[in-house]
Structure 1
Amino acid sequence: MQKRKLVITHNLDQDHINLLENILPDWELLIGKDKEVWQEHLQEAEIIAGWKKGLEEEILAPQSKLKWLQTWSAGVNNLPLDELNNRNITVTSANGVHAYPISETIFALMLGLTRKLHTYVKNQQTKNWHHAHMGLEMHEKTVGIIGVGEIGKETAKIAKAFGMNVLGVRHSGQPADYVDEMYTPDQLDVLLPKCDYVVVTLPLTNETHRLFSAEQFKQMKSSAFFINIGRGEIVVEDELIQALKDGIIAGAGLDVFEKEPLTTESPLWEMENVIITPHTSGSTEHYNKRVIENILVPNLKEYLAGNIPSINRVDFTKGY
């Protein structure tokens, strides 16, 4: 009798391999970043953890045995969601893995812009002793968190350590810990004028695509900073650039862009009021550990018990 198969498209340490082998003693596990490890087994795999280019054709083939796909990322906008839904394949994401590293990056960007650290780093390179018109503080300011999921919640929690007033946006409008006022997406025009910092932590969906354009930037304070660690396509990039050039907003901290890598021709590289990170806000030494121990293993136990994995199960109607 052929063994059931689990494919993981990432390298794991031996401790985590042993953990999975103990949970699945009768399964064949194919684990590794090198596609030669699992390429010939994709259509036989009942579970795949990780998404790589080229998987789509194999897993959507008529003979594919795939029942459940666990992504290694929080975002699922690059998946063929309609086809997966039509084939009744369960999809779970790595949502929540990034709460600590991304919230740290958010505050690094907010503090960097507020205290002009990026300017001082440039001055250090040229041995230029200059005050750079430093003067702002972050304490007791107002931050608007657009998307109060796991990342947004952790960001709100840290903001309270700075004595900040925290405004949030979530679909349900339901309150959350550390958020002083919660709004719904149709109330952005009410929230934005109140914020000294606007932090976008949204997934990319049909509803959030190009959500921030010239209209939204004009609603913000001219002294406000814009932080985007969600997805680049949530923002109309050319209109953000124009808002930064015209002083409509004070500055931006950007980890994501409409096209990645960001082209060398982009004006964003040279702007004094912009800090750029190369889509690394979620990078962390604990990434695999959290995906496996907090999401994959509990979901595996549910699956083996005959249930649909529940942690981070993607709602196909919402796109996340």
Structure 2
Amino acid sequence: MSKRQTNILVFSPNLTDVEAYVESIRKEGYLSVQGATTFEEAEKYLPNTEVILAWKFPTQLLNKPISSSVRWFQSMGAGVNDLVTDPSIPKDMFITRIVDQFGTYISEYVFSFLLDIVKDGPRMRQAQLKQSWDSFTSDTLKGKTIGIAGLGSIGAEIVRKARAFDMNVNGLSFSGKQASLVDQHYFPNQWLEFVKELDYLVQTLPLTDQTHYVINKDILLAMKPNACLINVGRGALINEDHLISVMQSGHLQAAILDVFEKEPLPKGHILWSMPNVYVTSHLSGPSTVEGVSHFFIKNLKRYLEEQPLHGLVDRKLGY
């Protein structure tokens, strides 16, 4: 049986990715697919397009007559705060984000750093460089308390791995739907109470009006002096000026930052050179062609069968 066809536009500045996505979609029998990497190409293929799969799409095109046929915009990523607040995207256009794809990658990222810190990997590496037989007793994650802000699919996977290390696990979320996953659950009006007993605070929240700068000087100073902060959510969840000031005062053992208010993090920024800050280039949760294609094709089937879409964004909530 031939599949119902709809015009699809795949967009990314990366030509290799676009070609791979187009090929993956066509292999599933959806043949009316075009790929674009530039503003001009997107403008050329938008007329009669109904579905967009994109990363860094020139959204100013979406409020022009050439985009009047577009009904659904599928982002290639999990974060959509830029799309939610973009006035160029019509209110009646569906926006979906990738969900249930990043938990494994991000949780492994988190624990690779936590283990390195608790086992004092830098000391071991330094001893090897010096050819020094530095035998010491390292600490353990067992019995430590980790707090996870955001208990969606990513947060839930971090909880699961924390259990394997025999950690105490607390969580904070807006809905409380996943409260049963953690030992203690907190709501957003309980931030100070939430953070005060944590050894590790992991941020996985989406960026919304309610979460912008949710981590500020008051929250940071309420944490234990030797606690660690990990941000794998969005850069603007944390007031970076406050974080720098607090850490320069000697408060907090470490900050592990994969996301920043401005990306790429500018050369010369103080965060690059702070000895107790670990900087990575927004790589903890990669959007792979295989994973995104699989998610999109499953969602495309649902769209064509007029079933509810996975990852549908609620613009009022901001995610």
Could you tell me how far 1:36 is from its partner in structure 2?
A: 6.7
Equivalent in the alignment of 2:300: 300
Equivalent in the alignment of 1:29: 33
1:43 and 1:58 in contact (8 A); partners too: no
Q: Secondary structure at the match of 2:147?
A: strand
Equivalence map 1:5-84=2 (5 Å): 5-9=7-11, 10-12=18-20, 16-20=24-28, 22=29, 24-25=30-31, 28-31=32-35, 33=37, 38-53=42-57, 55-64=58-67, 65-79=69-83, 81=85, 83=87
Could you tell me how far 1:195 is from its partner in structure 2?
A: 0.7
Could you tell me how far 1:103 is from its partner in structure 2?
A: 0.8
1:11 and 1:33 in contact (8 A); partners too: no
Separation (CA, whole Å) in 2 of partners of 1:128 and 1:290: 44
Query: 2:315 is aligned with what amino acid?
Result: F
Q: Secondary structure at the match of 1:79?
A: helix
1:93 and 1:313 in contact (8 A); partners too: yes
Could you tell me how far 1:316 is from its partner in structure 2?
A: 0.5
Q: Secondary structure at the match of 1:83?
A: coil
The correspondence for 2:199, drawn from 190, 196, 199, is 196
1:70-117 per-residue CA deviation (whole Å, 9 max, x = no partner) reads 000000112254536644000000122211111111111211222232
2:59 and 2:88 in contact (8 A); partners too: no
1:225-263 per-residue CA deviation (whole Å, 9 max, x = no partner) reads 110111111111111112212122111111111211222
Cα gap change, 1:15/1:193 in structure 2, threshold over 3 Å: closer, same or farther? Answer: same
Q: Secondary structure at the match of 1:194?
A: coil
Q: Secondary structure at the match of 1:48?
A: strand
222-231 or 108-117, which deviates more:
108-117
Cα gap change, 1:265/1:129 in structure 2, threshold over 3 Å: closer, same or farther? Answer: farther
Separation (CA, whole Å) in 2 of partners of 1:125 and 1:52: 44
Separation (CA, whole Å) in 2 of partners of 1:214 and 1:132: 38
Cα gap change, 1:6/1:125 in structure 2, threshold over 3 Å: closer, same or farther? Answer: farther
1:196 and 1:224 in contact (8 A); partners too: yes
The correspondence for 1:217, drawn from 214, 217, 220, is 220
1:174 and 1:182 in contact (8 A); partners too: no
State the TM-score, normalized to the length of structure 1.
0.87
Separation (CA, whole Å) in 1 of partners of 2:265 and 2:6: 42
- Does residue 265 of structure 2 align to residue 266 of structure 1? no
Cα gap change, 1:117/1:63 in structure 2, threshold over 3 Å: closer, same or farther? Answer: same
Cα gap change, 1:128/1:208 in structure 2, threshold over 3 Å: closer, same or farther? Answer: farther
Q: Which runs of 5+ in 1 are unaligned?
A: none
Separation (CA, whole Å) in 2 of partners of 1:259 and 1:219: 26
Equivalence map 1:166-315=2 (5 Å): 166-176=169-179, 178-283=181-286, 287-293=288-294, 295-307=295-307, 309-315=308-314
Separation (CA, whole Å) in 2 of partners of 1:134 and 1:239: 34
State the TM-score, normalized to the length of structure 2.
0.87
258-267 or 170-179, which deviates more:
170-179
Q: Secondary structure at the match of 1:78?
A: helix
Could you tell me how far 1:204 is from its partner in structure 2?
A: 0.9
Could you tell me how far 1:31 is from its partner in structure 2?
A: 3.1
1:159-191 per-residue CA deviation (whole Å, 9 max, x = no partner) reads 000001110111112344542221111111111
Equivalent in the alignment of 2:161: 158
Q: Secondary structure at the match of 2:146?
A: strand
Could you tell me how far 1:37 is from its partner in structure 2?
A: 5.7
Q: Secondary structure at the match of 2:83?
A: coil
2:72 and 2:95 in contact (8 A); partners too: yes
What is the aligned residue count?
A: 308
1:110 and 1:253 in contact (8 A); partners too: no
1:123-176 per-residue CA deviation (whole Å, 9 max, x = no partner) reads 379647485987432122100000111110000000000001110111112344
Separation (CA, whole Å) in 2 of partners of 1:209 and 1:193: 20
2:81 and 2:318 in contact (8 A); partners too: yes
1:153 and 1:178 in contact (8 A); partners too: yes
Query: 1:154 is aligned with what amino acid?
Result: E
